[in-house]
Structure 1
Amino acid sequence: MTSPKTVLITGTSSGIGLAAALGAARAGWNVVATMRDTGKADALRAAAAEQGVDGRVQVKRLDVVEPETITACLDEVVAEHGRLDALVNNAGAGSVGTVELVGLDDFRAAMEVNFFGVVATTRAAMPHLRASRGRVITVTSVGGVAGQPFNEPYCAAKFAVEGFMESLAPVAATVGVDVTVVEPGAVATEFVTSMGIDRGAALAGAGPYAPALRTYFERIDGVFATAAQSPAEAAAPITEALTCDRPAFRVQTSARARDIVGAKLADLDGSAVQAAAGGLLR
């Protein structure tokens, strides 16, 4: 019998990352579930035990903005498992604001976690993935394809990730590594609440943007109330990309996400995307 393959997944303390870790373990993979604060691993450990896959889930610390933790974690993985067969870049952080209301530090912080963290982790994993002819799977967002109002720092970072992965994919293929981006839309996770937005304070400080921001909050609440996927639904395409023979480069997690991405990719002059985004503000 061949030994199980090993996957490292970032950002697994909750949401899509937690669900992806469970899905990969159920599919028979050895899962190295990483997170910035391993003190938040109780939910993952409990769910893994409940599903009978706790023997396949190993929690390790990795903070994508601390390169030394990336190197240390990968060294441990290869020492303990002998190989790395896949990397799932999932860790990320959201932000809400527009360019007059947020500072350059907010843009830099969004880029550091959502883009440079992905670059650093992928760069460190590539030698091991070349050796195993493995896979890089990166959770981006529909916001990495179509700009979302009041999400300028986040979307800028996710657009950068999409460009990085789209450019990397054909090069990685020459050394046997498959690259996939997974694009969720609205997902009912702690991702939004973890941003810690004080809406009252945000509106009070929004000046001339306050009417549009208020409407945006109302529209987004409606989207999450009626159209949000569960984390397990959003993570299912990650398991599919891990286990199928030849994963596609671009995968959406829902019909709504496919509609948004399809509209953008067919929108040569940008008018359709602008009209859709404007609809969130009126």
Structure 2
Amino acid sequence: MAVKTVLITGTSTGIGLATALRAAEAGWRVVATMRDTGKAGTLNDAAGAAGLAELIEVRRLDVTEPDSAQECVSAVIAEHGSLHALINNAGAGHVGTLEVDGVEAARRVMEVNFFGVLNTTAAALPFLRAAAGRLIAVSSVGGVVGQPFNEAYCAAKFAVEGYLEALAPVAATVGVGVTIVEPGAVASEFVANVGVPDDRGAMAERFGPYTPALDAYLARTADAFAAAQSAYDAAGTVVEALTAERPVLRVQTSEGARSFIAPKLADLDGSKVLGMTGTWVA
């Protein structure tokens, strides 16, 4: 059988890097994209060590630039003739709150985490349709449960989930399967740059009256990440979605992620979620 081609965004670290490796292990030709290809060393080294270098090629793609997405997809089609799958993984975390950050910070988060998905999906859909292919987005449990001090990030992930849930039945009529993958806490570099000062005094100066609540939230989050899933394990779920004969709309990467979102999916009035998240900042 001919080798199928998958384009993955955000592959310099974390789940994206691990997904590139695991997709290649599964026999896919992987177009591994990142905004700064100067950061490709870790992926290239891992691919070489695993004997996968011939199946992984690195290309530049900035998901916030529609032209970049179009150019990258066009180059893939010109070289390989088809595109069978797109995995939207690129994203950026953000910890803050509206009164402190303002609206523009939320716009920046939305540009990467929501509109970035739309930019790449719009570029790829004609070719996914031609290949009866697969469209996957790596969301988060934060795309189901709104989490304190993650307002902008959760809003963006909620938007991704709503958009793709609405798109899925339409895409299915032209042969494209849509899946949303929801990781919980994952041990990666994703959380290293979320905008919270390391210095306690600087944090208090920035967050003012919200500091006690932020302290409580950060302590709870540190506990959650102490038992974080590995990026390689989470990537396994992404590749299962890629190769599934009958894709489902929503899948979680761990039992912890499933138990985390379960209250929300059975919470008609919102009281279960607020009862849970309210304890995080008390």
For normalisation by structure 2, the TM-score amounts to 0.97
Provide the rounded CA distance (Å) in 2 between the counterparts of 1:205 and 1:66. Answer: 31
Specify the alignment match of 2:57 in structure 1.
58
Residue type of the partner of 1:9?
I
Distance 2:281 2:69 in 1: 40
Quote the residue 2:244 is aligned against: 244
The number of aligned residues is 280
Aligned partner of residue 280 in structure 1, secondary structure: helix
Partner of 1:266: 266
Aligned equivalents of 1:203, 1:158: Cα separation in 2: 28
Q: 3-state DSSP class of the match of 2:188?
A: coil
What is the correspondence of 1:44-55 to structure 2 with a 5 Å cutoff? Answer: 44-55=43-54
Equivalent runs, 1:1-282 vs 2, <5 Å: 2-199=1-198, 200=200, 201-225=202-226, 227-282=227-282
- Residue by residue over 1:59-115, the C-alpha shift from the partner in whole angstroms, topping out at 9 and shown as x without a partner, is 000000111111111011011111000000000011111111111110000110000
**Conserved? CA contact 1:10–1:62, under 8 Å:** yes
Distance 1:202 1:117 in 2: 30
Q: Are the equivalent residues in 1 in contact too, given 2:63–2:117 (CA < 8 A)?
A: yes
Q: CA RMSD in A?
A: 0.9
The alpha-carbon deviation at position 281 of structure 1 amounts to 1.2
In the TM superposition, residue 194 of structure 1 has moved relative to its aligned partner by 2.7
- Amino acid of the structure 2 residue aligned with 1:275: G
Among all aligned residue pairs of Structure 1 and Structure 2, give the percentage whose two residues are the same amino acid: 60
Q: What secondary structure, in the 3-state scheme, does the structure 2 residue paired with 1:205 have?
A: helix
CA positional deviation for 1:221: 0.8
Q: Residue 175 and residue 27 in structure 1: after superposition, are their counterparts in 2 closer, same or farther (change >3 A)?
A: same
Residues of 1 paired with 2:37 and 2:116: CA distance?
A: 18
Amino acid paired to 1:172: A
- Given the two structures, how large is their TM-score scaled by the length of structure 1? 0.97
Distance in structure 2 (CA, Å) of the matches to 1:73 and 1:266: 41
Alpha-carbon separation, structure 2, partners of 1:205 and 1:41: 34
Provide, for residues 108-155 of structure 1, a one-character-per-residue CA deviation record: whole Å limited to 9, x for no partner: 001100000101110110000000000100000000100000000100
- What is the rounded CA distance, in whole Å, between the counterparts of 2:195 and 2:268 in structure 1? 36
Instruction: Provide structure 2 residue ranges, at least 5 long, that are not aligned to the other structure.
Output: none
How far is 1:202 from its partner? Answer: 2.6
Q: Mind listing any 5+ residue stretches in structure 1 that lack a counterpart?
A: none
> Separation in 1 of the partners of 2:130 and 2:26?
22
8 A contact 2:180–2:250 mirrored in 1: yes
